[in-house]
Amino acid sequence: MTASIDTGLTQGERSGVAQQLTKVLADSYAVYLKTHGYHWNVRGPEFFSYHNLLELQYREIWAALDDIAERIRALGELVPQGGSAFANLTSIKDGDPEKDAPEMLKELMRDHETVIATARAALDEADEAGDEASVDLMTQRLAAHEKAAWMLRSSLGSR
């Protein structure tokens, strides 16, 4: 027996928002994996600062993954799990440990911009549905990914 969900959102609204959040989760997970891998494999004269920056970023993303997944569950939907499930939902490609440090940072910066676009789409869907909790979560994720992209861009000497 399943209990009905009565949170002021229709099943269709909950499902639509959860679908968008699932894409944010998949993109975020892909960026987490790549950031963690680049943290392990970065090298060069700026090793220490890049290594530490990437650790701060992957730890922040890791904590957020649970918040996103739990929001999807609160909306009454199941969360995909496993590498192939996430790979089918994201356009973010695996990292290449052979890249030099600046190329790693450029790629991660672009990947954060991808997550920003995905989060904006989820925010719009949640806003249209009147789902303030998901809007709040996506606002927080936008701020975090915009900050991460800015830090990577600044580390590369760009505005």
**pLDDT tens figures, 17-61:** 999 999 999 999 999 999 999 999 999 999 999 999 999 999 999
**pLDDT tens figures, 94-110:** 999 999 999 999 999 99
Amino acid at 50: Y
Q: Which domain holds residue 129?
A: 11-155
CATH of the domain at 140: 1.20.1260.10
pLDDT of residue 4: 85
pLDDT of residue 6: 86
Residue 18 lies in a domain: yes
The pTM assigned to this predicted structure is 0.95
Residue 5 pLDDT level (bands cut at 50, 70, 90): confident
Is there a contact between 67 and 60 (Cβ–Cβ < 8 Å)?
no
Helices (H), 42-100: 47-74, 83-87
Residue 6 lies in a domain: no
Residue 5 lies in a domain: no
Residue 22 lies in a domain: yes
SS3 state of residue 12: helix
Whole-number Å distance between alpha carbons of 53 and 47: 10
SS3 state of residue 75: coil
Residue 1 lies in a domain: no
Of the candidates 94, 35, 31, the residue with the CA atom closest to the CA atom of residue 68: 31
CA triplet 112, 107, 90: central angle to 5 degrees? 55
Whole-number Å distance between alpha carbons of 58 and 4: 36
Residue 2 lies in a domain: no
Q: Could you tell me what percent of the chain has a pLDDT over 90?
A: 92
pLDDT of residue 3: 74
Residue 3 lies in a domain: no
Q: Give the number of domains in the chain.
A: 1
Residue 49 lies in a domain: yes
Of the candidates 127, 135, 130, the residue with the CA atom closest to the CA atom of residue 10: 130
Q: Could you tell me what percent of the chain has a pLDDT over 70?
A: 99
Whole-number Å distance between alpha carbons of 21 and 27: 10
Residue 2 has pLDDT above 90, yes or no: no
Whole-number Å distance between alpha carbons of 85 and 79: 10
Whole-number Å distance between alpha carbons of 76 and 60: 25
